[in-house]
Amino acid sequence: MQVPGVWTQAWARGLSRGLDVPVANAPAPVEPAEIETRISEEAALLASAEDDLRIEPLVARGDSVAQGAPLFRFRRHPEVAITAPMAGMVAHLDLDLGHRLRRIALFHDDGAGRYRHDPGAAAQEPAALRRLLQDSGLWQAFRSRPFGRFPLPAEVPAALCVMVLDTRPGAADPRLAIAGGERAFEIGVRAISQLTEGPVLICQEAGAEVIARNILPRRVKILTVPRIHPQGLAGVQVHRHFPARPGAPVWDIGAEDVLAIGELLETGYLRQTRLVSVSGDALREGRLIRTQPWADLRGLCRGLLRPGPSAILSGSLLEGQEARWLRPGDRQVTARVRRERKEGAHWFRSALSRASRPLPLIPTAAADQALGGGVAAMPLLRALSSGDAETAIRLGVLSLLPEDLALADYVTCAQPALSALLAGLLERIEQEEVA
């Protein structure tokens, strides 16, 4: 018979599982005042055909735009706007047929100033807060699970998850991003708690709390999370504490975005920069930089890169994608040395690579730890490999996004990638839900 105390300790250890992934030139901890601010001369948002961003432009090429001014609205959701990440001139506005956005780019010009939004009664009225967040572009800071889209304009979450921890290799500590802005962070937490009648979960590392428990609404809970990857991913915490499901979505948002909401409510102005970590083996040194959204990654890495071929990723070593511009939501840049991969032509490897089915998954402790210990790892990964949606849903796949399986891809070297299988399965489930 299991002794309850022993079971509790084993359960707690299981929920602290993870792996330390080494990353070259991770930035050293610094004081907030020592962090460099670097605004790139250009900023751009690119959209692929898969994104299918159909928009109504509010500006034209050559227009001068203030930082925070609306650039366009979504055709399917005209309530929701995207705003200028910096003051400048519209250099490019490229649309395909059907008003699909391909690219919008700005040249920096401080003289264009800053755009002030009217907070009005948004701090006290949920409907006014929604309008303000949608007009200001901060609505896109939320991600809705299942499926990871930004929330529909009228959507009401069953719960909210605020991440004051990021355990991706090389990530900056979000507490550093909000240092000195604790009052605005508190205002932001109180405001977004109006958007749901369910719990608001603040996930942070052990230590000094970013906000005092005794001043929070009762529905706001502070959860202590171990600093080991993937524990600092929203998907792991959502699955553990409030699993998402159709009809009961769960939203997640980063700490600095909550701070930005608080500042918007206080001043009417959008935050001009975000804290970004720059790391990787192609650098002379890693660095923390404050920069604008959509920043030019080459500009951020200028003076830091070592000679030789390199690839710059928007995102971490695990899930980052090679890019020219900082992708929305990303707070890491990884500069990686380009190496040519030379694999031996062993007959068994060649047979597996030509197989019609995915490569076999081998149960290991690392695979279990890669999902944080709160998920039945191998059954879930096998369900993904076989496309078994019913089993995957039962095991919690609706709380996860592809980024939550990036560490599993790293330790299993699965082909095709588990994160890609998850993306395909979620798309299929979403289409069936709509149908």
Considering the domain architecture, whether residues 92 and 204 belong to the same structural domain is answered as no
- Domain annotation covers residue 53: yes
Considering the domain architecture, whether residues 364 and 327 belong to the same structural domain is answered as no
Identify the residue with better confidence: 432 or 233: 233
Per-residue confidence (pLDDT) for residue 78, from 0 to 100: 97
Query: Which residue range(s) make up the domain with 397?
Result: 347-434
Considering the domain architecture, whether residues 394 and 365 belong to the same structural domain is answered as yes
Q: SS3 string of the chain? A: CCCHHHHHHHHHHHCCCCECCCCCCCCCCCCHHHCEECCCCEEEEECCCCCCCEEEECCCCCCEECECCEEEEECCCCCCEEECCCCEEEEEEEEEHHHEEEEEEEEECHHHCECCCCCCCCCCCHHHHHHHHHHHCHHHHCEEECCCECCCCCCCCCEEEEEECCCCCCCCCHHHHCCCCHHHHHHHHHHHHHHCCCCEEEEECCCCCCCCHHHCCCCEEEEECCCCECCCCHHHHHHHHCCCECCECEEEEEHHHHHHHHHHHHHCCCCCCEEEEEECCCECCCEEEEECCCEEHHHHHCCCECCCCEEEEECCCCCCEECCECCCCCCEEEEEECCCCCCCCCHHHHHHHCCCCCCCCCCCHHHHHHCCCCCCHHHHHHHHHHCCHHHHHHCCHHHCCHHHHHHHHHHHCCCCCHHHHHHHHHHHHHHHHHC
For the chain, what is the domain count?
Answer: 4
Alpha-carbon distance of 353 to 20, in angstroms, equals: 29
CATH code, domain with 87:
2.40.50
Considering the domain architecture, whether residues 160 and 255 belong to the same structural domain is answered as yes
How many residues are given for the chain? 435
Alpha-carbon distance of 44 to 209, in angstroms, equals: 36
Considering the domain architecture, whether residues 157 and 287 belong to the same structural domain is answered as no
Considering the domain architecture, whether residues 329 and 279 belong to the same structural domain is answered as yes
Per-residue confidence (pLDDT) for residue 206, from 0 to 100: 86
Alpha-carbon distance of 22 to 26, in angstroms, equals: 9
Considering the domain architecture, whether residues 261 and 277 belong to the same structural domain is answered as no
Per-residue confidence (pLDDT) for residue 368, from 0 to 100: 84
Alpha-carbon distance of 149 to 409, in angstroms, equals: 22
Considering the domain architecture, whether residues 263 and 277 belong to the same structural domain is answered as no
Considering the domain architecture, whether residues 246 and 352 belong to the same structural domain is answered as no
pLDDT in tens, 82-123: 999 999 999 999 999 999 999 999 999 999 999 999 999 999
Cβ contacts of 292 within 8 Å, gap of 6 or more: 39, 40, 43, 85, 86, 272, 273, 274
pLDDT in tens, 149-200: 999 999 999 999 999 999 999 999 999 999 999 999 999 999 999 999 999 9
Last residue of a domain, one of 337, 362, 388: 337
Alpha-carbon distance of 331 to 111, in angstroms, equals: 27
- Domain annotation covers residue 235: yes
Last residue of a domain, one of 112, 143, 176: 112
Considering the domain architecture, whether residues 175 and 214 belong to the same structural domain is answered as yes
Average pLDDT for 272-285: 97
Alpha-carbon distance of 185 to 346, in angstroms, equals: 56
- Domain annotation covers residue 281: yes
Instruction: Find the range with the poorest average confidence among 215-219, 234-238, 352-356.
Output: 352-356
Alpha-carbon distance of 46 to 279, in angstroms, equals: 23
- Domain annotation covers residue 93: yes
Alpha-carbon distance of 403 to 420, in angstroms, equals: 10
Give the dihedral sign, CA 152/158/163/167. negative
Considering the domain architecture, whether residues 396 and 290 belong to the same structural domain is answered as no
- Domain annotation covers residue 3: no
Identify the residue with better confidence: 237 or 13: 237
- Domain annotation covers residue 17: no
Which residues make beta-bridge pairs with 124?
none
Alpha-carbon distance of 421 to 402, in angstroms, equals: 8
From the list 408, 426, 402, the residue with the least C-alpha distance to 372 is: 408
Last residue of a domain, one of 219, 238, 267: 267
Identify the residue with better confidence: 151 or 350: 151
- Domain annotation covers residue 356: yes
Identify the residue with better confidence: 1 or 175: 175
For the entire predicted model, the pTM comes to: 0.92
Average pLDDT for 11-21: 66
Alpha-carbon distance of 396 to 415, in angstroms, equals: 22
CATH code, domain with 180:
3.40.50
Average pLDDT for 223-239: 95
- Domain annotation covers residue 290: yes
pLDDT above 90: percentage of residues in the chain: 79
User: Angle CA(230)–CA(236)–CA(237) in degrees, nearest 5?
Assistant: 120
Considering the domain architecture, whether residues 49 and 87 belong to the same structural domain is answered as yes
